[in-house]
């Protein structure tokens, strides 16, 4: 059995403008999504054949037959609509795909495995969410699965590359995300990871201030540095420079405490902020979360 998960590729940005802007068109520039791990494929197709109940399709309110027909459907915004295709990875999960947010976990995992200035979303108000199985040459909707739900459209300030790379062991990251979002929490460290996953998700669809604070929270609370060691620990664990980590911390402290903080020149002028770019903050959060989940599970 092959599973098809519909998704939209959306730009990561410092400014949020809402669903009705032409924001998401920035992601049209992506031509290829490459996954060296091989667990998943990423395809684009404007149309697809869908298996539906014949009576329901023709508007009958009382369905008395299981007879199905194939109908051709079109995707919205095909330039940035991507099918996530799995031939064995999702199908061999133990337990298999469940009703409560496994698709959501998958999207978080993919976002953790790319540092490119985009993120995967399944519910931008433009698509019926969930997943499909391939059956006799057509797709059939898995109605038992819950939606993934990333937030609103963003303005793409970063340059969007033509090829997006999904790097690392997606299967391992997905197992970790799935575990920590559904397991019984038994320690403060496990609770920190679960909260960090939610903060990370919120950051992807927030403006600069919330995103910077959330990504910093992810690093701070999963890496657990001492009070005077935060910049050094974040730098050593994520590949960010100590200067960038220091600037990031100062900016977050200023946002949390408007009457405190140093080096705040231009704090209200986003073009002149002396802080690392958003993609660097996201990359640091990616690294911190993946390291901590893997380390705690050993």
Instruction: Note the pLDDT tens digit of each residue in 146-194.
Output: 433 322 222 233 457 889 899 989 999 999 999 898 888 899 889 999 9
Q: Which residue range is the domain that position 199 belongs to?
A: 183-298
Q: Is residue 177 part of a domain?
A: no
Confidence band, pLDDT 50/70/90 cuts, at residue 11: confident
In a domain, 4, yes or no: yes
Is 88 among the domain residues? yes
Q: Is position 175 within any domain?
A: no
Q: Looking at 168, 200, 235, which one is the last position of a domain?
A: 168
Q: What is the tens place of the pLDDT at every residue in 102-150?
A: 788 888 999 999 999 889 987 543 334 567 777 777 777 665 444 333 2
**pLDDT of 260 higher than 60:** no
Cα separation, 282 vs 223, whole angstroms: 15
Q: State residue 19's pLDDT score.
A: 47
In the chain, the DSSP E strands lie at 3-11, 15-16, 32-35, 41-43, 47-53, 68-74, 81-86, 118-121, 132-135, 138-141, 154-155, 163-166
Burial (0-12, 13-18, 19+ Cβ within 10 Å), 46: exposed
pLDDT of residue 149: 30
Which residues does 260 contact at the CB level (< 8 Å), separation at least 6? Answer: 253, 254
211 with 293, same domain: the answer is yes
Summarised one tens digit per residue, pLDDT across range 197-255 is: 999 988 887 777 788 899 999 999 899 877 778 899 999 999 899 999 998 988 888 77
Reported as a pLDDT band with limits 50, 70 and 90, residue 298 is: low
pTM over 0.75: no
pLDDT at 101: 58
Q: Do both 268 and 123 map to the same domain?
A: no
Name which of 52, 75, 71, 82 is nearest 126 in CA terms: 75
229 and 135 in a common domain: no
- State the total domains in the chain: 2
Of 142, 168, 194, the position where a domain reaches its end is 168
Res 43: pLDDT: 93
pLDDT band at 266 (very low <50, low <70, confident <90, very high): very low
DSSP 186: -
Confidence of residue 262 (pLDDT cuts 50, 70, 90): low
Q: Does 160 lie in the same domain as 196?
A: no
pLDDT score for 274 = 66
Bridge partner list, 132: 4, 141
210 occurs within a structural domain = yes
Whether residue 232 sits in one domain with residue 286 = yes
Is the domain of 161 the same as that of 191?
Answer: no
| Whether the Cβ atoms of residue 107 and residue 121 lie closer than 8 Å to each other | yes
Whether residue 174 lies inside any domain: the answer is no
The answer on 198 and 59 residing in a single domain is: no
Distance CA(168)–CA(161), nearest Å, equals: 19
Domain limit, last residue, from 143, 168, 193: 168
**What's residue 89's pLDDT?**
84
| Distance (Å, whole) CA 49 – CA 53 | 13
- Does one domain contain both 131 and 13? yes
Residues 24 and 163 in one domain: yes
Structure token digits, residue 147: 């939606």
Answer yes or no: do 34 and 161 share one domain: yes
Inside any domain, residue 8: yes
- Flag whether 173 is in a domain: no
Residues 149, 278, single domain; the answer is no
89 and 197 belong to one structural domain: no
Q: Which residues contact 83 (CB under 8 A, 6 or more apart)?
A: 4, 5, 6, 7, 42, 43, 44, 45
Strands 132-135 and 68-74: unpaired
Q: Write out pLDDT tens, residues 42-96.
A: 999 988 888 888 888 787 777 788 888 888 888 888 898 999 998 888 878 777 6
């Amino acid at each position: 059995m092959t599973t098809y998960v519909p998704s939209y590729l959306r730009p990561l940005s410092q400014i949020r403008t809402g669903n009705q802007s032409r924001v998401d068109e920035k992601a049209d520039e992506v031509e290829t999504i490459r996954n060296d791990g091989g667990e998943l494929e990423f395809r684009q197709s404007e149309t697809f054949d869908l298996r539906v109940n014949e009576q329901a399709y023709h508007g009958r309110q009382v369905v008395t037959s299981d007879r199905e027909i194939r109908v051709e459907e079109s995707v919205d915004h095909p330039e940035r609509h991507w099918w996530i295709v799995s031939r064995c990875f999702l199908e061999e999960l133990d337990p298999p795909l469940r009703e409560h947010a496994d698709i959501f976990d998958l999207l978080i995992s993919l976002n953790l495995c790319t540092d490119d200035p985009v993120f995967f979303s399944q519910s931008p108000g433009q698509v019926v969410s969930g997943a499909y199985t391939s059956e006799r040459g057509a797709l059939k909707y898995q109605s038992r699965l819950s939606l993934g739900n990333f937030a609103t459209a963003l303005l793409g300030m970063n340059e969007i590359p033509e090829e997006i790379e999904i790097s690392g062991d997606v299967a391992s990251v997905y197992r970790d995300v799935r575990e920590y979002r559904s397991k019984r929490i038994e320690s403060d460290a496990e609770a920190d990871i679960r909260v960090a996953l939610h903060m990370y998700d919120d950051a992807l669809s927030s403006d600069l201030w919330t995103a910077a604070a959330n990504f910093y929270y992810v690093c701070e609370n999963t890496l657990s540095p001492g009070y005077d060691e935060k910049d050094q620990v974040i730098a050593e664990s994520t590949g960010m420079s100590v200067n960038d980590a220091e600037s990031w911390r100062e900016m977050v402290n200023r946002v949390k405490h408007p009457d405190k903080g140093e080096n705040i020149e231009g704090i209200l002028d986003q073009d002149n902020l002396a802080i690392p770019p958003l993609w660097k903050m996201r990359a640091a959060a990616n690294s911190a979360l993946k390291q901590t989940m893997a380390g705690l599970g050993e």
